Amino acid sequence: MAKIWNSKFELSLRALMLLYSDNTTPKTLDVIALLDTITIYGGDFGISDENLHGEIDFALDEFDTMREIMKNEIKGLILRGLVIATKGNGGFSYKISPIGDEYCKQLTSDYAVEYMSLAKGVKNLVGSQSEKEIFDMISKEISGS
């Protein structure tokens, strides 16, 4: 049976759509992975009626695995000119390129439209919180505190 959710291809598209949905500032890999997690589990975080991938339990070990896959997929997005990497004091940050922006404008499937809408809701939810604050929000949700 084929793996439906969290394939390499899907993670690369989600990273790209997330950067498209909030292109105000470059984001680190960890922030992209954290925001993607909240987007996928939007029902648990109150930004949607249900989770995008259904009601499945999330664990931090899943986050680590998805982060590693996403790390490699972002490299591919950079090589294809869809994402731009910049190096700063804290390491690399990523921003959607004009080519990536045009590519995302053509994504019209129900899934893509819903993901990008949820990603905008995540932007409103986290506001200007730090990476650590976003991680703590996810940890709190997982632990049920």
Give me 96's structure tokens.
């959607």
Listed in order, strand segments (DSSP E) in the chain are 83-88, 91-96
Is residue 2 situated within a structural domain?
A: no
Is residue 130 situated within a structural domain?
A: yes
pLDDT tens digits, one per residue of 92-139: 999 999 999 999 999 999 999 999 999 999 998 888 888 899 988 888
Is residue 16 situated within a structural domain?
A: yes
Is residue 54 situated within a structural domain?
A: yes
* Residue 128 confidence (pLDDT): 84
In angstroms, the CA 57 to CA 73 distance is: 24
pLDDT tens digits, one per residue of 36-93: 988 988 888 888 888 877 666 655 557 778 888 888 899 999 999 999 999 987 789 9
Residue bearing tokens 């819903």: 114
State which amino acid sits at residue 24: T
Q: What are phi and psi of 87, to 5 degrees?
A: -105, 130
Is residue 48 situated within a structural domain?
A: yes
With H, G, I as helix, E, B as strand and everything else as coil, classify residue 45. Answer: coil
Is residue 55 situated within a structural domain?
A: yes
116 pairs with which residues across the strands?
none
* Residue 67 confidence (pLDDT): 83
Is residue 105 situated within a structural domain?
A: yes
Domain that holds residue 12: 8-143
Is residue 44 situated within a structural domain?
A: yes
Q: How many domains in the chain?
A: 1
Q: What is the mean pLDDT of residues 9-30?
A: 91
